Every structure is written in structure tokens, then in C-alpha cells.
Amino acid sequence: MAYQDQNNRPPRQMFDISDLGITCAECNTVIDQLPFQPTKKEDDTYGKLYCYECNKKRMKSRGPRRDFGGGRDRF
């Protein structure tokens, strides 16, 4: 599911991972594409991966992004 964001950036490259049999850690939906190539961890798993919809919900529930641009609040 390639999409174009509000900053008019080109669509992200999506990786076909359908042959890996990965399911969403939240809703158990099969994940066919990700914007990155997953790699296995030391425990031979891919860790917790989320489908597009669940990831969008998780990011929304985290609240607004903070600006970590170089310590403007430090004096």
C-alpha cells in the first residue's frame, strides 16, 4: 500500500514480504508489504510487526510528535 504524504514526497518503496508469513501483532492480519525489509532478531523472530491500519492507530494514540531539533529548551 504505497501512499503519498502531505509533504508531497514520492511514495515510499514497499517490500513484498508475503512469502515470510508474517501477521500483525495486534489484529493477526497477514502482512504482505512493509516500507522496510524486516530482519530476524537473535531469537529467530521478526519481533512485533503491525499492519498499516494498526500502526496508524498506534501512532495516533501516541499523541503529537515532539520536536527533537537540538535542545532549544536547554539553558
Every domain of the chain and the residues it spans: 15-36+45-61
pLDDT at residue 2, as a whole number? 55
Written as nine digits, the cell of 18 is: 508475503
- pLDDT tens for 3-61 read 555 678 888 899 999 999 999 999 999 999 999 999 999 999 999 999 999 999 998 88
Does position 74 have pLDDT exceeding 80, yes or no? no
pLDDT at residue 69, as a whole number? 62
Count the residues in the chain: 75
Give dist(CA 7, CA 24) in Å, integer.
Answer: 28
**pTM here?**
0.67
